[in-house]
Structure 1
Amino acid sequence: MIELAWLWSPFTLIGAAGQVARNAMQRGLTGPLGTVGATHIRFLFGFPFSLLFLAGVLFVTGDAWPSLSQAFWPWLVLGALMQIAGTALMLAAMTERSFVVTTAYIKTEPIQAAAFGFAFLGDHLTIVKVVAIVIATFGVIVTALRPGGSKSFADLRPTLLGLAAAAAAAAAFALSAVGFRGAILNVHGVSFVTSASFTLVCGLLLQTVLLTSYLIARDREVLRAIMRLWKPSLFAGFMGAFASQFWYLAFALTAVANVRTLALVEVLLAQGVAYYSFKQPLSLREFVGIVLIVIGVALLVAT
């Protein structure tokens, strides 16, 4: 494990690239499938690929079936539920704001963790951390608010909804990452690769069952729409499972904070996707805001 610990860095970079691609595909499917339907495809179509990943890992490593501690399941449930919530909130935010700006909002995830720790656990915040939070928060404001025009609630509504949804998504993803790392660390008797792969299979299975059951009970037409769009959904599911596989490998090797800090490269990747795929050029104001967010988050985690 010690010799392989450095691998968390390339694992994170690969996972970040895969996640940007998956987010772009899901965003394009939000219109025909709705937020819940677009959220579901990453789980429903990702699960079969996770099984293939696990089978390949078991074959290559020669690991036996893993043993689990009792803490595995609570951590897994926390991670799975928060990931569902975070994905849905992220897609909702993308309908109100641009792809790259939403990704930048969600990268305030470490700020959410610091705020929750201070509010609920009394965690001490140094002056440097407070400054970091102020810088990143100012970056969010600069990025979100449109200059000029009417300041009525109707005009501000998209900004406020997008900001609220993305902030909530950041909190959900922070809890999700902690939950999945906790689950991975409670898989015993196997290599870290098998621990990560097994956790991915269990998480996607739980999420698939939960969302499929919900749609059967509440909106079967969405399930039918998903089946009609199975080709793009299948690729989105593959990219989701691919990205998650590498996220989990990184979580197995290092702390969540390290992974999420390096994952800030998603902001740059998202900017490229937004420009070339969605024809969403980044204004100077948005660029300055995103730079401030990245500086603030990086300073927060580094201190």
Structure 2
Amino acid sequence: MSAHLWILASLLAGLFQAWRTALQQRLRGVLSVSGAGLVRYAFGIPFAALMAGAYLTVTGQGFPALSPHYLMLAAGAGLAQILGTALLILSFGFRGFVVGTAFSKTEALLAALASAMFFSERLAPIAWAGIAVGVVGVMLLSLPEERSPAALLRNVVQPAALCGLGAAALFALTGLLVRQATIALHTHDPVAAALVTLLAVVILQTIMHGAYLSWREPATWRAIGRNWRNSTLVGLLAAAGSACWFTGFATAPVALVRVVGQVEVLFTIGFAHLYLAERIRSREAGALLMIAFGVVLALLSQL
């Protein structure tokens, strides 16, 4: 298996996630924040099961045993992703699709710090530089037109920033827990571990989130049913994107996967312009160059 599989997985994950988030934002017009988040898990189960089943069958592997420790890690990852997704969708309502995504992209830096502190993962200095450059690039997308210190401070403490930063922390935690879950499966095949973990996570997410929705927003189930076509496409893209993310997490440090996956911002701006009709600002060109440079530095660290 290629040692650089995580690079292709990270790039594809960025594409699928940007496409899925754009569709999910359109669902936000007819569903609640909670309902728009649930569809990615509930409608992703059939596709996750198909991918895991097909891969295990083709490679001649049986379904691995799932220990209580593994299930706790998978449930923790699922809950962190549920909460992070809710905060990300909520941030869209304050400053727009592109900016909400930009705030959440600080997760690469948070994942790197947490990996170093709690899991003793060491990154080369050039990788840290790539993470820093990428984070600065995505944060450029959120700067206000006014550049005074007071305006910059307001930009950091506004609701969109707080929601985006909260989502970033939760997504970083998701990646770290998924990586630990794939390790806990004790399988020699990281792709199999990633796909099995994806299936376990989306099932647990549907149970947790579905129970909450039934309790607090039972009417949302009917709205989801009325929008089953868009919800199915969201589920497909979510499953495909998560399969790529999980494969990356299983084969490389989470922080590196996340910084390469920041190409999502490029796709996000394209979808926001073409699919959501949001205007692209001239400042975004410089931000995209910084993000691309950060990705290149992260890749060079692995050569």
Tell me if TM exceeds 0.5: yes
Once the two structures are TM-superposed, the CA of residue 213 in structure 1 deviates from its matched residue by: 0.6
Name the structure 2 match of 1:179.
177
Give the unaligned 5+ runs of structure 2.
none
| 1:235 and 2:233 matched | yes
Looking at structure 1, the residues matched to 115 and 11 of structure 2 have their Cα atoms a distance apart, in angstroms, of 27
Relative distance call for 1:274 and 1:298 in structure 2 (3 A) is same
Question: For the residues of structure 2 that align with 1:228 and 1:79, how far apart are their CA atoms?
Answer: 29
**Alignment counterpart, residue 46 of structure 1, candidates 19, 44, 65:** 44
| 1:198 match | 196
Is contact 1:76-1:203 (8 Å) kept?
yes
Q: Report what 1:102 is aligned to.
A: 100
What secondary structure sits across from 2:277 in the alignment? coil
Q: What is the aligned partner in structure 2 of residue 81 from structure 1?
A: 79
Residues 140 and 164 (structure 1 numbering): CA distance in 2 closer, same or farther, change over 3 Å?
farther
- In structure 2, relative to structure 1, the CA distance for the partners of 1:144 and 1:210 (3 Å cut) is same
Farther-moved stretch of structure 1 (76-85 vs 103-112): 103-112
Q: Does the aligned pair in 1 maintain the 2:260–2:295 contact within 8 Å?
A: no
Q: Give the Cα–Cα distance (whole angstroms) in 2 for the partners of residues 211 and 60 of structure 1.
A: 32
Q: 1:71 to 1:269 in 2, by over 3 A?
A: same
1:203 Cα deviation after fit = 0.2
| Equivalent in the alignment of 2:266 | 268
CA contact (8 A) 1:78 1:179 kept: yes
C-alpha distance in structure 2 between counterparts of 1:157 and 1:214, whole Å: 32
**Which amino acid in 2 is paired with 1:186?**
A
Separation of aligned partners in 2, 1:26 and 1:42: 8
Q: What residue in structure 2 maps to residue 12 of structure 1?
A: 10
Change beyond 3 A, Cα 1:110–1:247: closer
Listed one character per residue, the Cα deviations across residues 74-125 of structure 1 (whole Å, up to 9, x for unaligned) are 321221111101111111111222322222222211233456689999x99x
| Aligned positions, number | 298
Q: Which amino acid aligns with 2:263?
A: V
Residues 143, 288 of structure 1: 8 Å contact kept: no
Q: What are the residue-to-residue correspondences of 1:113-262 with 2, within 5 Å? A: 113=111, 142-147=140-145, 160-189=158-187, 191-262=189-260
What CA distance in whole angstroms lies between the structure 1 residues aligned with 2:4 and 2:132? 32
Deviations 1:263-298 (A, max 9, x none): 011111111111111222221234445655676798
1:9-55 per-residue CA deviation (whole Å, 9 max, x = no partner) reads 11221121111111111011112101100000000100111111122
Query: What is the Cα-based RMSD across aligned positions, in Å?
Result: 3.4
Relative distance call for 1:257 and 1:114 in structure 2 (3 A) is: closer
Residue 133 and residue 249 in structure 1: after superposition, are their counterparts in 2 closer, same or farther (change >3 A)? closer
Change in CA separation of 1:69 and 1:217 when aligned onto 2, cut-off 3 Å:
closer
Displacement of 1:224 in angstroms is 1.0
Tell me if the contact between 1:107 and 1:264 (Cα under 8 Å) persists in the aligned partners.
Answer: yes
Name which of 13, 23, 26 aligns with 1:25: 23
Contact kept? 1:144, 1:159, Cα under 8 Å: no
Whole-Å separation in 2 of the counterparts to 1:52 and 1:265 = 27
Structure 1: tracts of 5 or more residues without a match: none
Query: Which residue does 2:33 correspond to in 1?
Result: 35
Q: State the TM-score, normalized to the length of structure 2.
A: 0.84
How many angstroms apart in 2 are the aligned matches of 1:43 and 1:204?
5
After superposition, what is the alpha-carbon deviation per residue over 1:177-228, rounded to whole angstroms, capped at 9, x for unaligned?
0111111111134632221111111100000001111111111111111011
Of all paired residues, the percent bearing the same amino acid is 33
Match of 2:280 in 1: 282
* TM-score for the superposition, normalised by structure 1: 0.84
Cα 1:173–1:192, aligned 2, differ >3 Å: closer, same or farther? same
- Tell whether the 8 Å contact from 2:11 to 2:261 is kept in structure 1 after alignment: yes
C-alpha separation in 1, matches of 2:6 and 2:129: 29
Whole-angstrom distance in 1 between the partners of 2:244 and 2:125 = 35
CA shift in 2, pair 1:131/1:16, >3 Å:
closer
- 1:7 partner amino acid: L
d(CA) in 1 for partners of 2:242 and 2:252? Answer: 15
Could you tell which deviates more after superposition, 90-99 or 209-218?
A: 90-99
